[in-house]
Structure 1
Amino acid sequence: MGKKKYALIAGGLVCLALFGALYYLQGERDKPYTLSTFAMGSYIQQTVYGKGGEEAAAQAAQEIGALENRISWRREHSDIALLNASAGNGPVPMDPATESLLETALEVGEKSGGAFDVTIAPVSRLWDFDENPRLPETGELAAARALVDYRQLALTPQGVSLPEGMAVDLGAAGKGAACDKALAVYREAGLAGGVAAAGGSVGLYGKKPGGSLWQVSVRDPWGAGSVGVLALEEGFVSTSGSYEKTFQQDGVTYHHLIDPKTGYPAESGLVSVTVCSGSGALSDCLSTACFVLGEEKSLPLLESFSAQALFIHEDGSIACTPGLEEAFTPHSPGDLAADKP
C-alpha cells in the first residue's frame, strides 16, 4: 500500500475521531440534568444543560437555601427576622444581598405609589394565607394598616431600621430572587443553558438545545392547563394570580394579593399578571404591584423598568404590552372565557 493511501486512511481516521469528539461534546451540551428541591414554601425545579450541570444545579439549590435563611422572616436568625425584632431600636447590619433586595423592593414601592409595599407584614400576618387564613376584624385591620409604609424603612451605612411595630415581609420577592441566584450560578459555571422555576417565578439562561426560544406556559386561572405560551430568550418571568391562595367566608372568596392602601385583597379587575424583565426579584415585585394597580395604571410602572407584562382579566380577556405581543401564542380566548366560573 502506497504512502499516499496510508495518509488518506490516517486522515480519515483523524476526521472520524474529531467528529466523534464533537458529537460527544454536543451530546453533553444537549443532555439535560434535572433537580427538584424544596425551599421558600415551594418546589424549586431546575433543568440545566452543559458540562458540570449536576454540580451547578446542586450549588444553586444550596445558595437558594442560604438565601431563604437570610431573607425569610420565619427563620429566627435571618436578616429580616432580626430587623423585625429590632424595630424601633436602631439600625441592623445586613448582608449586602439582603440589602440589595430591599433596595429593589423600595424602588418598586416608590414607583408604584405604594401598590407594592415590603412592610405589608402586619396586615398579611392577620390574613395568614399560608397557614390559617381568616377574615380580620375591622379594628385590628385598621391598626395593622397604620403600620404599613415602605417610606419608613431606612437603609443607611449603619444598617437597616424600622419604626416600632412595623415589619418587613420579602415573600413577594423571594422566589424571583431565588431564580436570580440560580442563574448567577449557571453563568459562573459556564453552562450552555438552564431553567430555574420557583413557584410563580422562572429564570431562563443561555440557549435551549437546538437554538429555539424557551417556552413558558401561562397558567389558566380557571383550569389545570394554560392560556398560551410565551416564547422567550434569556430573562425572568413572574406571575401573580388571585387563584394561588384563597379561602371563602360567607360566600365571599378572598385571595392573598393584598392592596396595601385598603388592607383587603386587591380589586383591580385582574386574575393574573405575568411580568418579564431582566431581574427575577424585580419581575416578582412588579407582578404583585401590577396586580394591585390593574392594567392601565401598570403601564407607566412597567415602562420605567423596561419590563413587559401579560394581563388576564376577570372576563377572560388577555392583553399584552407591545414587547410581548409577538412572543405570546394564545389558545382560544373563547375556550378560556367558557371555563370562567
Structure 2
Amino acid sequence: MKKLLCLPIAALIMLCSCADSSSEHIKTLYCMDTHMTLKAYGDKAEAALEKAVGTLVDLDAKWSVTNTDSEIYKVNHAGGGTVQVSPETSELVSFGRDMYEKSDRTLDISIYPILLEWGFTIHYYKVPAQERISKLLWNVNASKIGVNSSGVTVPADMMIDLGSVAKGAASDMICGELRKAGVESAVLDLGGNIQTLGSKPGSGKWKIGIRDPEGSGIIGSVSVENKAVVTSGGYERQFTENGKTYHHIIDPSTGWPAESGLVSVTVIGDSGRMCDALSTSLFIMGAEKAYHYWRKTGGFDYIALTKSGELLVSSGIAEDFDLDKDHKNIKVTVVK
C-alpha cells in the first residue's frame, strides 16, 4: 500500500496591482487550520484589523472540532444533551442545518465522523471499508440537529463540523466589523476564501485569480467589489492509495468523495457563508444539477470547471471573468 500526503492548497489567488501602499495595512495569522491575510486601507484600518484578528481567534476557539474547550467539541461530546453556546455558534449551526434542506441535502454539517474516518481532519489519510462507511451514514442527517434558545443538541451518535461554512461566516463578520469601524476598502483572504469590501484604491475592482488545478498558475480571474469569492476543488486536499486518488469533498449520500464530473466550483455572491456552503454543494451536485439549482435559486453566480476541461460561467459574472492568456484553448460556456 502506498500513500501520498498532499497538503491543502489555496484555490483562489489575490492578483496584485498598484495601490497606495502608504495607506495599506496587513495582518497575517494562522487560524481555523489555514493561513489568513487581511488587508485594509485608510487611517482607520490598522486598529480595525487588530480587532479582526481577535475576532478570528475567538471564533476558532468556539468552532474547532478538536479543541476540547470549544463549543462545538462540547456539543459533539455531550452524549445527546443540550449545550449552551454563544449567539455566533447558535446562528451558524442553525444556518448549516437549514442549508441541508436548501441544498438538496448536498451540504451536511453532521458528516464529521465520515471525514474523520477518511482522515481528512487529522491529515492521516486512509480508504475506509464500505461496511464502516455504511454504519456511519446512519448518523449523518443534519435535520436531526436541534437549535433553540436553550442551546444546541445533536443525537448521541452524531458529530457536527462547521468547516464547510466557518470561514465564510467569519469573513462576513470581519467585513461587518471593518465597515462599522469606518473602513471603506479591504480584502480578506481566509485560506483561499476571499471577501472584498468596497473597491481597491486606485484600481477599481479587486481581481481574484482562480487556480489552475493542474499547475501553479491560474486559469482565469474574476473582478469584483463588495463580494465574496469561494472555490471548492477536489485538488485542494487529496491523497493517492493503490493508484487511485481520493479527494476531501465527501458526498453525504454515499460517504465517498463526490464523483460529479467537476474539478472545481467558484461561487460569487454577497454572503461569505452562503458562497462557502454553495461551493461545496454545487461541486457535489455536478454541472447539470448545479445549473438548475442556480436557475431556481438565484442570488449568486458561479464558475465551474469540468473534468472534460470546459469552463461554465454563469451569465451574471461573465463580463467580469477573464480567461488567462495561457489557457485560451479552454472552452468557455456562458450559462443563462
Normalised-by-shorter TM-score class: 0.7 to 0.9
Asked if the contact 1:268–1:291 (Cα under 8 Å) also holds between the matched residues in 2, the reply is: yes
| Residue 200 (structure 1) shift | 2.5
Residue number in structure 2 paired with 1:314: 307
1:94 aligns with 2:82: no
**Residue among 46, 49, 52 paired with 2:44:** 52
**Residue among 141, 150, 173 paired with 1:158:** 150
Q: Which has the larger radius of gyration?
A: 1
| Residue 287 (structure 1) shift | 0.5
**Residue among 306, 316, 322 paired with 1:323:** 316
DSSP 3-state at the match of 1:102:
helix
Paired AA for residue 80 in structure 2: G
146-155 vs 257-266, which moves further: 146-155
Structure (1 or 2) with the greater helix fraction? 1
Instruction: Give distance in 2, aligned partners of 1:336 and 1:325.
Output: 15
Residue number in structure 1 paired with 2:98: 107
Paired AA for residue 192 in structure 2: G
Deviations 1:74-114 (A, max 9, x none): 1212121111111422x222211111112221222111221
1:216 aligns with 2:219: no
| Distance change >3 Å, CA 253–CA 28, structure 1 → 2 | closer
Residue number in structure 1 paired with 2:241: 249
**Residue among 121, 132, 137 paired with 1:140:** 132
DSSP 3-state at the match of 1:216:
strand
Instruction: Give distance in 1, aligned partners of 2:24 and 2:268.
Output: 24
Asked if the contact 1:270–1:312 (Cα under 8 Å) also holds between the matched residues in 2, the reply is: yes
245-254 vs 92-101, which moves further: 92-101
80-89 vs 223-232, which moves further: 80-89
Paired AA for residue 40 in structure 2: V
1:186 aligns with 2:148: no
**Residue among 107, 120, 123 paired with 1:116:** 107
Q: After superposition, where does 1:249-328 map in structure 2 within 5 Å?
A: 249-302=241-294, 303-304=296-297, 306-328=299-321
DSSP 3-state at the match of 2:83:
coil
Instruction: Give distance in 1, aligned partners of 2:22 and 2:314.
Output: 33
Instruction: Give distance in 1, aligned partners of 2:270 and 2:300.
Output: 8
Asked if the contact 1:87–1:167 (Cα under 8 Å) also holds between the matched residues in 2, the reply is: no
Instruction: Give distance in 2, aligned partners of 1:110 and 1:47.
Output: 35
1:233 aligns with 2:225: yes
| Residue 62 (structure 1) shift | 1.1
Give the number of the structure with larger relative contact order, counting CA–CA contacts within 8 Å between residues 6 or more apart.
2
DSSP 3-state at the match of 1:172:
coil
Structure (1 or 2) with the greater strand fraction? 2
DSSP 3-state at the match of 1:323:
coil
| Residue 211 (structure 1) shift | 5.4
**Count of residue pairs the alignment pairs up:** 310
| Residue 52 (structure 1) shift | 2.1
| Residue 291 (structure 1) shift | 0.6
| Distance change >3 Å, CA 300–CA 154, structure 1 → 2 | farther
Asked if the contact 1:245–1:256 (Cα under 8 Å) also holds between the matched residues in 2, the reply is: yes
Asked if the contact 1:30–1:209 (Cα under 8 Å) also holds between the matched residues in 2, the reply is: no
DSSP 3-state at the match of 2:319:
coil
Deviations 1:99-139 (A, max 9, x none): 11122212221112211101001111101124201101111
267-276 vs 210-219, which moves further: 210-219
Paired AA for residue 150 in structure 2: Q
DSSP 3-state at the match of 1:238:
strand
Asked if the contact 2:112–2:159 (Cα under 8 Å) also holds between the matched residues in 1, the reply is: yes
279-288 vs 251-260, which moves further: 279-288
Paired AA for residue 327 in structure 1: D
**Which runs of no fewer than 5 residues in structure 2 stay unpaired?**
1-18, 332-336
TM-score (norm 1): 0.87
| Distance change >3 Å, CA 107–CA 29, structure 1 → 2 | farther
Instruction: Give distance in 1, aligned partners of 2:97 and 2:297.
Output: 14
Instruction: Give distance in 1, aligned partners of 2:22 and 2:318.
Output: 29
DSSP 3-state at the match of 2:165:
helix
Deviations 1:167-216 (A, max 9, x none): 00111112212211221221111113000101131110022112511111
| Distance change >3 Å, CA 301–CA 80, structure 1 → 2 | farther
Query: RMSD across aligned C-alpha pairs, in angstroms?
Result: 1.8
Residue number in structure 1 paired with 2:55: 63
Asked if the contact 1:104–1:282 (Cα under 8 Å) also holds between the matched residues in 2, the reply is: no
Instruction: Give distance in 1, aligned partners of 2:196 and 2:120.
Output: 29
Identity over aligned pairs, percent? 32
